[in-house]
Chains A and B, each alone.
Chain A
């Protein structure tokens, strides 16, 4: 068990470009989550996967955001036509079912849109 891995750790992009982040969860976990954290705030829920099915997408995610989890393994989060307001830390977490313990978070990907 190597924990939750996220890549890249940092990403600087120009406004209007597309970016993609990857998350590799703990292999035994069936649940995968994406959260976003801005400076001085707690993480906010973005989306949730149960195995390969995306079961909820927050209103925080505009149509420019898309997430996938092919075959219930790793997940990707893509942001198209980035805006300065997208600058944040993007966190991935995985877990067993809700009543079987806590979440394990990755180290996050810090996105800066210039």
Chain B
């Protein structure tokens, strides 16, 4: 099946810093989503971004499907940004419903 690798696995920032999270995938995709899992376990959908660039406030994401990677940018980080960020993809050569998740990036933002 498709492989999803996220980097870095852990990231510690001071409040106000910027960061870039990366997601590499091993095959072509037709669906890519970024999620934030808060300390209580709730998965929040940040972006549906199979290609191109999107922005939502301090967050933005870019997917370059032809090169099989996606980036999530967090600017002016806040303590509430802490948690695990997951990238999840749907293989365009496979089923059109099964999302495969990476292992996530654990982000800690200190005050």
Q: Chain A interface (Cβ within 8 Å of chain B)?
A: 31, 33, 40-45, 48, 50, 55-56, 89, 91, 93, 97-99, 101-105, 107-108, 110
Contact = CB atoms under 8 A, between A and B. Distances in A.
Contacts of A89: 41
Contacts of B86: 42-43
Interface stretch (B12-20, B63-71, B74-82, B94-102): B94-102
Interface of B: 4, 30-31, 33, 35, 40-45, 47-48, 86, 88, 90, 95-104
A103 B45 contact: yes
B98 A45 contact: yes
A109 B10 CA distance: 26
A20 to B, nearest CB: 20
Contacts of B44: 105
